[in-house]
């Protein structure tokens, strides 16, 4: 899903603690099969029992060649001989249970849409109800169209930095976080002597905080 926008794949990779993510705005190098297999092998050697790879619908490499979930599956199967399955999200993803944020967002955007209709005049420009940070805003429709076209132009010219910038602050922060977390590697010679097993327990005290488990998982 997402067509030529990698936002859904990127946030899914962060939420699912994926080992690798393919998105069109930040293509992988042409030798991605080698890079991918090295990453997956390293995670298995560190004790991971499974790997998760997220592939956006419009994923590309640096030369503009399309990357599909099936091509990724074939590389992993043929190179690492791991039991590999492909799951294409469609109705399952759309039918997921909404979170508290989803419910509130729907109410807030719906209310803003009604206000926009009530305030419209024959001379008013069409607009799109959107969210900027945590503020519901109205964005002119043509501005959205022009920005989408600008992203496509930047990607056609392989100007990846500009494409990411045009996606907005949230996309940039998510991509920066993903790239930072993928640089974290297991400590060498970390294996325990035979027969010695360490267990680590972490207790969180206080009100729930979104994203805390994700941070503990990577750094505890």
DSSP state letters, 53-118: EEE-TT-BBTT--B--HHHHHHHHHHHH---------SHHHHTSPP-HHHHHHHHHHHHHHHHHHH
Query: For residue range 143-202, what is the model confidence (pLDDT) as tens digits?
Result: 999 999 999 999 999 999 999 999 999 999 999 999 988 887 766 555 556 666 667 788
pLDDT at 212: 73
- Stretch 104-124: mean pLDDT, rounded? 95
CATH no., domain 7-93+194-219 = 3.40.50.460
Q: Is the pLDDT of residue 53 over 90?
A: yes
Classified as helix, coil or strand, 126 is coil
Q: What pTM does this model have?
A: 0.78
Of residues 213 and 50, which shows the higher confidence score?
Answer: 50
Domain limits, CATH 3.40.50.460, in the chain? 7-93+194-219
């Amino acid at each position: 899903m997402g067509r030529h926008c990698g936002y859904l794949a990127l946030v899914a990779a962060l939420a699912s603690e994926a080992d690798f993510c393919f998105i069109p705005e930040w293509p992988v190098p042409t030798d991605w099969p080698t890079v991918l297999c090295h990453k997956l092998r390293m995670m298995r050697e560190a004790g991971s029992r499974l790997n998760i790879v997220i592939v956006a619908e419009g994923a590309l490499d640096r030369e503009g060649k399309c990357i599909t979930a099936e091509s990724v599956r074939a590389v992993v199967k043929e190179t690492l001989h791991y039991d590999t399955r492909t799951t294409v999200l469609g109705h399952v993803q759309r039918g997921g249970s909404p979170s508290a944020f989803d419910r509130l967002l729907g109410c807030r955007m719906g209310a803003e849409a009604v206000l926009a209709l009530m305030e419209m005049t024959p001379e008013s420009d069409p607009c799109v109800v959107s969210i900027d940070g945590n503020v519901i805003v109205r964005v002119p429709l043509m501005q959205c169209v022009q920005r989408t076209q600008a992203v496509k132009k930047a990607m056609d010219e392989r100007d990846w930095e500009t494409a990411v910038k045009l996606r907005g602050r949230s996309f940039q922060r998510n991509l920066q976080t993903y790239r930072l977390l993928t640089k974290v590697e297991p400590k060498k010679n970390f294996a325990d002597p035979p027969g010695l097993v360490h267990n680590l327990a972490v207790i969180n005290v206080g009100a729930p905080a979104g994203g805390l488990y994700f941070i503990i998982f990577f750094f505890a």
